[in-house]
Amino acid sequence: MSQRIPVIVLGGTGYVAGELARLVLGHPGLELAAVASDSQPGESVAGAFPHLAPALGDLAFCPQDDAAALAARLPRSAVLAAAPHGVSAALIDALLSRAEAAGSHPTVVDISADYRFADPGAYAAVYGHGHGAPARQPQFSCAVPEHLAAVKTPHVAHPGCFSTATLLATVPLLALGLIEPRVFVSAVTGSTGAGRKPGPGTHHPQRHSDLYSYNGLAHRHGPEIAALAQAATGVAADIAFVPHSGPFARGIHATVQATLARPMQTADVIDALRQFYAGRPFVRVLDAPPRVKDVVTSNYAHLSAVADGRTVAVMSVIDNLVKGAAGGGVQWMNRLLGFEETAGLTAPAPGWT
């Protein structure tokens, strides 16, 4: 190994895993050591992600057990987990248990939903099954990176893409006491948010040139957003969340509306958002409404707002696979490992996608 810190990606065949590999391959302090997949062991990683072939060489997927063995051998490593929820917790627990028994202590960032709730009961209530490794939950913090100044746990869980977009807009309003604690969210996501395997209602040809809501007021991210907003602000807010499937591949556009606690106009809210996110390089507050194309494939989030004295609406756009998943995970790993928070993540959006 070089002086770079070796990275192990778990759950390595999905879109988020591909983005993790892409970001790690371009990172100045990280080195892609293994991509684990029990569904394609021994197969070429470049076969799953041909756009990454020039940088991947002959790297092959390894079984999850081999990834755990590698973590046990390495004195220092970073684990980015992109396995599905309900699976990730047990994989991480097995890897950490094996590494700890060998005297190694990998640093983990989980991008699944398994460590987003601090309480196993809350997780079970939302997901309908018990947690895969409840004893590990106290070892994980969960927050948008911009909303947690100090991490007191060895590992981190990154919120989901809908949650990230919504929290970036909602948390400043609650933390600054600008709104009454009832928030209405309408958010549109691209087809990559549904994962790699096409299904009814998620397959892109069905979504193309169409727009429709699903699981309105009953989506699993609603309770996650409420819990994480309260953890970040101390305010218990009622979150009414309605997600939509959009006719594009990447990106999320979230509109957050609430009643103002005191009369404010558009310029006042935009100024408050700018002050709240001052010094946070990945969040940009604009005067004009934000556009998805201006952030797609980047780790940047763009926000803007309008207010009429009584009601406020904050618009938030992110790339669901980067800021909402892989990029946010690498941003957290940078902090946990002592790199600059922006390391490997400053490439701007290409624009005309």
pLDDT band at 216 (very low <50, low <70, confident <90, very high): very high
Q: What is the pLDDT of residue 3?
A: 86
pLDDT in tens, 131-172: 999 999 999 999 999 999 999 999 999 999 999 999 999 999
Q: Which residues contact 90 (CB under 8 A, 6 or more apart)?
A: 132, 133
Rounded to the nearest angstrom, the gap between the alpha carbon of residue 314 and the centroid of all alpha carbons in its chain is: 20
CATH of domain 5-142: 3.40.50.720
In this structure, is the dihedral angle defined by the CA atoms of residues 321, 322, 326 and 332, taken in order, positive or negative?
Answer: negative
Q: What is the pLDDT of residue 1?
A: 40
Q: What is the pLDDT of residue 193?
A: 86
Tell me whether residue 62 is one of the annotated catalytic residues. Answer: no
Buried b (16+ CB within 10 A) or exposed e, 37-52: bbebeeebbbebbeeb
Fold type of domain 161-320 = Dihydrodipicolinate Reductase; domain 2 (3.30.360)
How confident is the model over 80-102, as a mean pLDDT?
96
pLDDT band at 35 (very low <50, low <70, confident <90, very high): very high
How confident is the model over 178-189, as a mean pLDDT?
98
Q: What is the pLDDT of residue 208?
A: 85
Q: What percent of the chain has pLDDT over 90?
A: 92
* Tokens 């780790």, located at residue: 299
pLDDT band at 196 (very low <50, low <70, confident <90, very high): confident
**Strand 155-157 relative to strand 107-110, pairing:** parallel
Q: What is the pLDDT of residue 18?
A: 97
How confident is the model over 86-106, as a mean pLDDT?
97
How confident is the model over 187-207, as a mean pLDDT?
82
Predicted structure pTM score: 0.96
For the chain, where do the domains classified as CATH 3.40.50.720 start and end? 5-142
Catalytic residue among 24, 56, 108, 161: 161
Q: What is the pLDDT of residue 138?
A: 96
For the chain, where do the domains classified as CATH 3.30.360.10 start and end? 161-320
- CB atoms near residue 151 (< 10 Å): 15
